[in-house]
């Protein structure tokens, strides 16, 4: 007999991992996703410990290894494309050991979960309304393509539908009512442009005055596109705020093109191609903070509950670990008790992960205001790069005891309680 019928809203990283493990725990799982199944847009992301343990237990680690971007590190360049510093994979480099494109990761996770006979995916489907009655949740679902509407009954609902979660709005109120958004003072845009030979094999970063940064990252060696990340630290940009509020993608593109026009380096190429990008995404970076992650038989997961922003580097890790913890607690209890235990176990870890490095100043150091600040940043990393190469060449590390790895420095310890998962759930 199934443990219960669960609706998961959102087929992203958190949603599909939760579906995978809940299926192992004998739940009947329905996953809905507003986008199309074949949509694979998204930025580069990294998987580190302890999240790596979760994907290993899912049996998909080798598959993920096979679709790594292959990025060999990062380099900092000036506006004439001269290299100031080159950082290899790992260590202080922004390039991790398991670097993936988000679209590739979500596809692997979706296929892994969809293999279970008790998991069903519905794409281009959204919630119209929901109502909790006693021990059930009544949900009206709408197919965006055909417009058909149907009503279904579930024992529990998991909202894994991102920072702008409609599930959260249904049960808690609008963001304005619950004041869940906390600005971090930055605007970002992600999109792809046509690849050129020098875009491979390292990512390249260039800074400009007024806290503007361009970061270009290779996707895979054989890909014909390169990912572009535009980052601008600013409290308010009226043109972008208006475009973001209405979702006017063309206005968003025009606003970023104006911000970066005439700056040199790769900006003419980027501005020329930004209008052609069909996977363009832009937003103002905001963290999500809530007093509670659930209401009765509905619970929030991932960015819907705690969006940390890319400045923390923790979004993907929290989605993976959070989905594991929630599914584990739902294997032990049904309904509100499981949700309470999930939050009790994981909230402190999330709150620590939401802290932006260097007490919030890390983005301002990486995105200087003036040319002097940019020169200081570049020169510091150039000297650091030389020091790392010298230490490696001279093998000086043999004189020091083994220290913490990058993953240990970046991520606090978290007990997955993996040993308590039954053999049935693992297999």
Region 215-229: what's the mean pLDDT?
Answer: 92
Q: Residue 425: pLDDT above 70?
A: no
pLDDT digits (tens, 9 = 90+) for 181-194: 999 999 999 999 99
Q: Residue 393: pLDDT above 60?
A: no
292 forms beta bridges with none
Q: Which residues of 372-391 are buried (b: 16+ CB within 10 A; e: fewer)?
A: ebbeebbeebeeebeebeee
Name the maximum alpha-carbon separation found in the chain: 69
7 forms beta bridges with 30, 157
Q: Residue 12: pLDDT above 70?
A: yes
pLDDT digits (tens, 9 = 90+) for 243-267: 998 989 999 999 999 999 999 999 9
The pLDDT value recorded for residue 197 is 93
CA-nearest of 2, 57, 59 to 25 is 2
Across 115-129, 131-145, 394-408, least confident range? 394-408
Of 41-55, 133-147, 397-411, which has the strongest mean pLDDT? 133-147
* Model pTM above 0.75: yes
**If pLDDT is split at 50, 70 and 90, which confidence band does 395 have?**
low
Distance of CA 325 to the CA centre of its chain: 18
pLDDT digits (tens, 9 = 90+) for 72-108: 889 999 999 999 988 887 666 777 778 899 999 999 9
pLDDT digits (tens, 9 = 90+) for 16-50: 999 999 999 999 999 999 998 756 656 888 999 99
pLDDT digits (tens, 9 = 90+) for 282-299: 999 999 999 999 999 999
Region 136-157: what's the mean pLDDT?
Answer: 96
The pLDDT value recorded for residue 404 is 46
Percent above pLDDT 70 for the chain: 89
The pLDDT value recorded for residue 229 is 96
Secondary structure string (H, E, C) spanning the chain: CCCCEEEEECCCHHHHHHHHHHHHCCCEEEEEECCCCCCCCCCEEECCCCHHHHHHHCCCHHHHHHCCCCCCEEEEECCCCCEEEEEECCCCCCCCCCEEEHHHHHHHHHHHHHCCCCEEEEECEEEEEEEEECCEEEEEEEECCCCCEEEEEECEEEECCCCCCHHHHHHHCCHHHHCCEEEEEEEEEEEEEECCHHHCCCEEEEEECCCEEEEEEECCCCCCEEEEEEEEECCCCHHHHHHHHHCCHHHHHHHHHHHHCCCCCCHHHHHHHHCCCCCCEEEEEEEECCCCCEECCEEECCHHHHCCCHHHCCHHHHHHHHHHHHHHHHHHCCCHHHHHHHHHHHHHHHHHHCCCCHHHCHHHHHCCCCHHHHHHHHHHHHHHHHHHHHHHHHCHHHHCCCCCCHHHHHCCCCCCCHHHCCHHHHC
How far is Cα 251 from Cα 243, in angstroms, rounded to an integer? 6
């Amino acid at each position: 007999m199934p443990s219960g019928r669960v609706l998961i809203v959102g087929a992203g990283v958190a949603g599909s991992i939760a579906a995978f493990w809940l299926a192992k725990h004998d739940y009947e799982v329905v996953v809905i996703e507003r986008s199309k199944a074949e949509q694979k847009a998204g930025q580069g992301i990294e998987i580190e410990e302890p999240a790596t343990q979760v994907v290993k237990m899912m049996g998909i680690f080798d598959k993920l290894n096979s679709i790594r971007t292959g990025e060999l590190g990062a380099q900092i360049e000036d506006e004439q494309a001269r290299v100031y510093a080159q950082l290899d994979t790992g260590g202080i480099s922004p390039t991790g050991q398991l670097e993936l494109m988000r679209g590739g990761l979500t596809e692997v996770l979706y296929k892994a979960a969809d293999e279970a006979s008790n998991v069903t995916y519905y794409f281009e489907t959204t919630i119209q309304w929901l109502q909790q009655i006693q021990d059930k949740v009544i949900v009206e679902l709408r197919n965006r393509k055909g417009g058909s509407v149907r009503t279904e009954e579930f024992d529990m609902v998991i909202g894994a539908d991102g920072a702008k979660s409609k599930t959260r709005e249904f049960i808690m109120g609008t963001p304005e009512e619950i004041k869940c958004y906390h600005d971090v003072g930055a605007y970002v845009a992600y999109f792809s442009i046509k690849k050129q030979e020098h875009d491979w094999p390292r990512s390249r970063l260039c800074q400009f005055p007024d806290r503007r940064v361009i970061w270009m990252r290779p996707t895979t060696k054989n890909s014909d596109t390169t990912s572009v990340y535009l980052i601008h630290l600013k409290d308010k940009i009226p043109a972008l705020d208006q475009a973001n509020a209405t979702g006017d993608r063309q206005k968003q593109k025009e606003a970023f093109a104006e911000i970066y026009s005439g700056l040199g380096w790769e900006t003419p190429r980027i501005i020329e191609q930004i209008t052609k990008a069909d996977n363009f995404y832009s937003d103002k970076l905001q963290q999500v903070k809530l007093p509670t992650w659930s209401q009765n038989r509905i619970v929030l997961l991932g960015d819907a509950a705690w969006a940390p922003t890319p400045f923390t580097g923790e979004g993907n890790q929290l989605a993976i670990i959070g989905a594991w913890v929630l599914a584990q607690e739902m294997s032990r209890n049904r309904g509100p008790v499981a949700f309470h235990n999930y939050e009790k176990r994981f909230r402190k870890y999330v709150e620590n992960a939401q802290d932006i490095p260097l007490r919030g100043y890390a983005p301002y150091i990486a995105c200087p205001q003036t040319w002097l600040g940019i020169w200081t940043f570049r020169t510091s990393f150039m000297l650091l790069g030389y020091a790392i190469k010298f230490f490696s060449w001279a093998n000086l590390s043999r004189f020091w005891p083994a220290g913490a790895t990058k993953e240990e420095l970046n991520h606090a310890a978290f007990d997955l309680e993996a040993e308590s998962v039954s053999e049935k759930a693992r297999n």
